Structure 1
């Protein structure tokens, strides 16, 4: 279809991004077929640079694409920690060298890209992306669109949240293991901490209630409409009651000894999945594939999933973009279009848990279950969470502010720093980021 975006849609990049009700919108649109077969100059090696766990390789999508497109070889690089990835990407964007044909962008960074780095990335409407607008939720599309209508990335997934847990560890501590019973038992975050104290008193040796208080903060703040910016684009993080509540709850968990004190994405955190070092893990949909990769075959059937305390929320979600300095731009766009098409997004969710941003895919995965997680109805759990997720207001420094606050909580958790002092340190870190 032609690109008929309204002015209101085009300017929605800072204002609220409705990831809930809009998931019901849109019609089922079939994916475009793969279109590349190398180039006139011969075979092409496409490079794609990611962070965390996108799951494409694990789900066999690269191999499938290469079979459909003789002459195309895909080479992936991956950085586990998004902060490290983003710093490296910024350095390469400034220098113009060392960039992959495809670069991933985390949702907390996308406003920075659309407002400050549009010249560093290809406008995908030049390659026909305008015809894809109806395939994505309106919010996902709008977030990657500049004020003058350039589309700088295609959406991969969104991050509706639940709580993953080790049913075997909970059983040993005498706690409920049924996902519906647990959802009722921890319906609020206060309930969740109370249950955590009971677990800690009866837990197996060397097992904590939660991996880190940073993840607790991240999942709580993901339930809020306004976090660090308001709808006018003004900073509100210092006085926002939602930020204060999430900070206080996470700090209380640290002081109560409920945390395993593990930095997410660290080698120690990775090893802890198999060791049973924590019983619960705030769990956006994309975390399912990561758990499988770290816990391995031995973890199958031990993990389960329940609804999140305090209601629905979103944590994460990403985009695939083509840098202006990419070597194979046409072929890169063809691969992005294929990977983000409804068929591939649905397949990725069923195999890895990454919840689709393509409306056509969302409609096809409501019945999905996952045998690794004790046959949990992942389509229903994450689908319900996605529908109920509130508007989220994103700003230029959204991710960086969150990172600094989590660093402050790590001081409380690791060093025993008083929460007030740690908050002051976090604010200094934010000031440095904002310049």
Structure 2
């Protein structure tokens, strides 16, 4: 448990005048026994911060950092929203995963504006990364940590068997647009001997959908599932590909999906930078060199993944917390975190660092993966505007609806169900 100084008013009154000053409302309530300011940092999964915390404490002897680390993003954010509702219990610095960012933005009044309390760090990040954490009235509630720029991964051996080009440069034209991607899928399916083109419909649909200017809501937070033709256009394109046999129909993160990498159940994968590690772990050593990644993604760039560091207004040491968050997300520290845990940087200077640009991946044929994904990150045009329930609709409405199509449900009926469920979620 993190140490706290919990002293009653009567106990404070009995103390010396020097001690009492620390008991008032303006005192440093989060202090250790030796008088250091304690800053709590709540994260999940692996941010690569353990050594950075020690480094910061060494250069700031008045600071003690206590980490609260959840194993997965879901329980971390459940805890976050519970404590936001309760009005107490949050850490000084709270990490937010981009999939939950729209919900946090709807509660932005409970977070500090880092432009006001933090150091001057303008223009550090890729613009789209900062824009996503900026409120309509211009408040910045999160410093960007990592990102997940998208490229395309594919099985070279399966491409060759189907008569498609397999060299990373030669396949770029196949992945130039979504039309060319699905057309290549038709060619592949005709000669693949039963191997699917992609893993599942939801993964493709999400990538397509997230490239649009707005998500399931417009910028006035009105649901636009029915009125935005781009959403139905993406649906039609993906479900048409499903009908042609392009989907392996494997639910993401299921045991069957994991096994699919090893058995060669599908030939292509929408591939954020962190997906290389997933593929290597699931496909295994016996498939080393069979998977490749190319510097291309249909219709330009895209992003899947990444987080932010926020400072809730509950923090008793908000300015010092903002200083720590700014330091952790500085270019130098982003490179150190990348070396430690592979978290891909969002800082402009970090994306130009030789340590990143020269990084190679032996499993994927020695490709300069750092340089490849740095180039892909710069192709992202803008941050998509997402309404409060955007993430819930993606995960709990459209993903299940697309799975139902893969399981045989009529496409139009599945669309009607998705629209109805989205309307319920938006209420």
User: TM-score band (shorter)?
Assistant: 0.7 to 0.9
Q: 2:47 aligns with which of 19, 38, 56?
A: 56
Query: Which of the two has higher C-alpha Rg?
Result: 2
Question: What is the deviation of 1:385?
Answer: 3.0
CA distance in 2 between partners of 1:298 and 1:69 (Å): 44
Aligned with residue 425 of structure 1, among 408, 417, 422:
417
Taking the aligned partners of 2:94 and 2:193, their CA distance within structure 1 comes to 42
Q: 1:409 offset after TM fit, Å?
A: 0.9
Residue 302 to residue 326, structure 1, CA distance change in 2 (3 Å): farther
SS at 1:315's partner residue? strand
Q: Residue 368 of structure 2 is aligned with which of 370, 373, 377?
A: 377
Q: State the partner residue of 1:394.
A: 385
Residues of 2 paired with 1:297 and 1:98: CA distance?
A: 45
CA distance in 2, matches of 1:122, 1:379: 33
Could you report, residue by residue, the CA deviation over 1:243-293 in whole angstroms, capped at 9, with x for unpaired residues? 122111211222222222222233443444344333211112343344345
Matched residue, 1:211: 199
Number of residue pairs matched by the alignment = 387
RMSD: 3.6
Confirm or deny: 8 A CA contact 1:218 1:315 kept in the other structure: no
2:101 is equivalent to residue 110 of structure 1: yes
Structure 2: give runs of 5+ residues left out of the alignment: 1-30, 59-63
The DSSP-based 3-state class of the residue aligned with 2:71 is strand
Determine if the alignment matches structure 1 residue 221 to structure 2 residue 213: no
**What is the rounded CA distance, in whole Å, between the counterparts of 1:373 and 1:348 in structure 2?**
22
Q: Report how far residue 164 of structure 1 moved.
A: 1.3
> Structure 1: any 5+ residue segments left out of the alignment?
1-36
Per the alignment, residue 301 of structure 1 pairs with 289
Alignment match, 1:280 = 268
The equivalent of 1:406 in structure 2 is 399
Aligned to 1:14: none
Q: Distance in 1 between matches of 2:344 and 2:245?
A: 32
1:69 is matched with: 57
Matched, 1:361 2:353: no
The normalised TM-score by structure 1 is 0.75
Report how far residue 74 of structure 1 moved: 3.8
Higher relative contact order by CA 8 Å / sep ≥ 6: 1 or 2? 1
Q: 1:248 aligns with which of 205, 230, 236?
A: 236
Q: Which moved more, 1:293-302 or 1:131-140?
A: 293-302
Q: Is the 8 A contact 2:210 2:384 kept in 1?
A: no
**2:67 equivalent to 1:78:** no
> Are 2:335 and 1:346 equivalent residues in the alignment?
yes
Query: 1:398-427, CA deviations, whole angstroms, 9 ceiling, x for partnerless residues?
Result: 3233332222111101x2111111111111
Q: Is the counterpart of residue 194 in structure 1 residue 183 in structure 2?
A: yes
Residue aligned with 1:375, SS: coil
Measure the CA separation in 1 of the matches of 2:98 and 2:243. Answer: 31
Instruction: Quickly say closer, same or farther: Cα 1:136–1:246, change in 2 above 3 A.
Output: same
Report the Cα offset of residue 340 of structure 1: 1.4
Give yes or no for contact 2:225–2:419 (8 Å, CA) kept in 1. no
Query: Partner of 1:160 in structure 2?
Result: 149
Contact 2:152 2:293 in 1 (8 A): yes
Deviates more, 1:280-289 or 1:85-94: 85-94
After superposition, the Cα gap between the structure-2 partners of 1:145 and 1:222, relative to the gap in structure 1 and judged at 3 Å, is closer
The secondary structure found in structure 1 opposite 2:123 is helix
State the secondary structure of the residue aligned to 2:267. strand
The CA distance in 1 between the partners of 2:311 and 2:236, in whole Å, is 40
